[in-house]
Amino acid sequence: MEKCKKTLRIKKEILNAILHEARRSEIEICGLLFGIVVKEGFNVLSYALIRNIENSPISFKMDPREMFNEIIKHRNESMDVVGLFHSHMLSIVPSVKDLYYMKLWNVPWLIVDRNGNFSAYLIEDNEVCLVKVLIIE
């Protein structure tokens, strides 16, 4: 898989919180990453865990009302959606369903597993690419 041109910069405390939620959950967790888009990529400044209304260990669907409320709240703080995150039980590779929705939400998709592994993906030039994740202390 090709490497993306853009990077995802995320605060260590945010990534650790997401990984912690994935470890303790029996279903896929999901949520939004908020921050600013810069020339080099996406800077994550905040996140919101969103309820998985599918309540499933193999699939997710974010609660649309929670999504809307979080997007409005963060827009009022001058932040945009700069990524999505969700967990898989055993893998950090996008599923077929993930790949379909990545075309609709063209921001990095951070996928984590229950073992503390993570990777991020993006569609660039109609191809899925691996996003370099830079962890900020």
Question: How far apart are alpha carbons 82 and 46 in whole angstroms?
Answer: 10
Would you call 77 a catalytic residue per the annotation? no
Question: How far apart are alpha carbons 113 and 123 in whole angstroms?
Answer: 21
Torsion sign (Cα): 99, 101, 104, 109: negative
* HSE-CB of 29 using CA atoms within 13 angstroms: 22
What would the two tokens of residue 66 be?
């929670």
Question: How far apart are alpha carbons 114 and 41 in whole angstroms?
Answer: 26
Selecting among 28, 40, 66, 137, the annotated active-site residue is: 28
- Catalytic residue positions? 28
